[in-house]
Amino acid sequence: MILLKSPREVQQMLHPGEIVAGAHHRVREILRPGITTGEIDREVERYIREKGGRPAFKGYRGFPAAVCISVDFEVVHGIPGRRVLGDGEIVGVDIGVKAGGFYGDAAQTLPVGKASAEAEGLLRVTREALYLGIESARAGNRVGDISHAIQTHVEDAGFSVVRDLVGHGIGRSMHEDPRVPNFGMPGEGPELKAGMVLAIEPMVNAGAHEIEMLDDGWTVVTRDRSPSAHFEHSVAVTEDGPVILTEGAVPAA
């Protein structure tokens, strides 16, 4: 069942959304070769709590950290720890926050130091695919219009979208209906209505789309060990078009 939010509830969702945005800004400030993923996790958790939020992933089905940090061929749900980030790696950072009864969820993938031209291309195309998906999040369209916009852009660039993991509705729960796949056909799936809030999140592999899970029970990796990127925003469908709730008022990197 898809839960529609009132305009007032959409406004309230800006609160966790701005904390998510600020936390991502903080990650861009501190990321450098030599930092550990655990240090990023601790700083993000400190920031979220200072702003009055709660890290939504911590303890979620037993997840042991505040932030999901996924490096290179890790797709999503990587567990931060002692790993030292090296120059040229790419690091996906996924941050969820609960504040004022609502959730916000967003992800970005960043180069550590100087990444290869190939890696930069993967990041650029994945980010562009997210924004093309957001552009399609309009009342009267269907979920498949978002999916198709993302898939087409990714595949035109020679990359592949992950099939086994999808975006989702978000609100008073972190995961609500509908599912928002990163592949599909225009005009298919549920109709988009004002008041829907969607976490749109392309996961894009440089190689094939297949994924598998590591023995830690969390970390999702590409089966062919090709690099993978992930960008996500929580987006409200409104009468005036899509509104990104997790972009915040902070300056872009």
The packing angle between helices 143-156 and 117-135, to 10°, is 160
Nearer to Mg ion, 65 or 199 (CB): 199
Minimum Å gap between C-beta 96 and Mg ion is 7
Among 99, 199, 203, 206, binds Mg ion (CB under 5 A): 199
Binding mask 101-120 for Mg ion (x = CB under 5 A): ----x---------------
Nearer CB in complex with Mg ion: 115/184:
184
Please, which residue, 67 or 199, has the CB nearer to Mg ion?
Answer: 199
Return all residues near 81 (Cβ < 8 A) that are at least 6 apart.
36, 37, 38, 65
SS3 73: coil
x/- contact string, 209-238, with Mg ion (CB under 5 A)? ------------------------------
Q: Which is nearer to Mg ion, 18 or 201 (CB)?
A: 201
The residue assigned the tokens 């800004």 is: 25
Asked if 245 interacts with Mg ion (CB under 5 A), we say: no
Report the distance separating Cα 195 and Cα 201, nearest Å. 19
Q: Which stretch binds Mg ion (CB under 5 A): 22-30, 148-156, 193-201, 242-250?
A: 193-201
Based on CB atoms, which residue is closest to Mg ion, 45 or 232?
Answer: 232
Comparing CA positions, the residue from 4, 25, 177 lying closest to residue 95 is 25
Stretch that binds Mg ion, among 4-12, 111-119, 148-156, 194-202 (CB under 5 A): 194-202
3-state helix, strand, coil in the chain (%, to 5): 30, 30, 45
Nearest to Mg ion of 56, 221 (CB atom): 56
Task: Give the amino acid at 95.
Answer: I
Burial of 118 (C-beta count, 10 Å sphere; 0-12/13-18/19+): exposed
Q: How far apart are CA 210 and CA 223, in angstroms?
A: 6
Per-position x/- string for 68-107, each x denoting binding to Mg ion as judged by CB under 5 A, each - no binding: -------------------------------------x--
What is the binding site for Mg ion (CB under 5 A)?
A: 105, 199
